[in-house]
Amino acid sequence: MEKRVKYLDLIKFFAIYCVLLGHAMQFIGKNFWSNPVWEFIYSFHLPLFMIISGYFFSSSLQLSFGSFLRKKTSQLILPPLAWYFILCLLYCCINPFINEEIALKFSVHGLISSFWFLKCLFGCYLIVYLSMKLIKNQLAACLITCIVLCLIPFGDLLSINFLLPFFWIGFFFQKYRVSVEKKTLFLWKGCLVLFALSLIFWNGNYTIYNNPIELLSFTPFHFAFDCFQVMLFRFFIGLVGSFFFIFSIQMLYKRYENNKLIDICCVMGKYTLGIYLLQMVLFERLFFALALYLDFLPVLALTFVILGICLWGIKMIERNKYTQLLLLGSLRKNESYFGYK
């Protein structure tokens, strides 16, 4: 078994903090789409999470399909569904007192779209697992699945066609990590330059929320060249941005690995799934219901408050094995979130 790569826990903490900050930035006003901090975060943070998730995929190939499906369902599908139904029931009880526009109701759309990233991650696991069982050449499996999802209708469901390539990149990064790490400084410099140049042309309109990947339409037949250009640019900035931070954090950890603050961040990086779930409940439901709008510094402080609440909530949920199974997934002690072995 491969020795645990501790700096990956630090990367996961950085990634989940970017999620917290990105969501918190939505409370500075309705024009957050053009806020430079929000635009910066959304240039790389989703690809970064997928790369780290794909890094831990290889051990899934050792499982039978039934075992694989049961494990990933309990980890990535059961908790979002449980939280969704809890929130829907809560809405039914308090609906006279909350903002109707943000109320969570039972619906097919809500069932699919709530906690969408975990469902996208499940889809990526399933696609990569099946493709590697059916196609022996790993590179061919990667190219075929990525191209097909970019071309078929509904390939953009849950943004799988955008994030699947990054999952594959994480898998190949794990496979060739030792060779890549020998060139860390050189690659870091290259990513720094390319990421900085890309940010000059980047804006919130290029995110998947405003520009999903829909290359082909069939009635009438049409290839969306403009969408293709945005897709390539978004992939490029996500790739170089993600690896800029991966290499930066790797070098930071190597220099300060015995630092107590670094150790604390690494520990918190093991709880990314729980933090993601709980912050979605707090940000997407509670704070939108309150219609809060804050300045940047209070928003920055809010992220640390929410982080603390999430960690406390995780500890409470973990006290009972049934609540842990339903609300956090069935995890063994010390098993990573968003990076399952």
Tally: H helices and E strands in the chain:
17, 2
Q: Which helix (H) or strand (E) holds 223?
A: strand 221-223
* The pLDDT of residue 257: 85
Contacts of 267 (CB under 8 A, 6+ apart): 9
CA–CA dist 304, 74 (Å, integer): 29
* The pLDDT of residue 225: 86
- CA torsion sign for 62, 63, 69, 70 is negative
* The pLDDT of residue 301: 85
- Smallest Cα–Cα separation from 15: which of 128, 119, 166, 158? 166
* The pLDDT of residue 341: 44
Average pLDDT of adjacent 10-residue blocks, the chain of 341 residues: 74 94 78 85 95 93 93 94 83 56 59 88 97 95 96 88 97 94 95 98 91 81 86 97 97 91 92 92 67 71 90 93 88 47 44
Contacts of 245 (CB under 8 A, 6+ apart): 11, 14, 44, 48
Structure tokens at 76: 């990535």
CA–CA dist 15, 28 (Å, integer): 21
* The pLDDT of residue 85: 85
Q: Where in the chain does DSSP place strands (E)?
A: 216-218, 221-223
Neighbours of 91 (CB within 10 A): 17
> What is the tens place of the pLDDT at every residue in 305-337?
899 999 999 999 999 989 999 999 865 444 444
What are the φ/ψ torsions at residue 250 (nearest 5 degrees)?
-60, -45
* The pLDDT of residue 335: 46
Q: Which residue has the tokens 């042309």?
A: 201
CA–CA dist 164, 142 (Å, integer): 9
Q: Which residue has the tokens 């720094």?
A: 192
CA–CA dist 196, 201 (Å, integer): 10
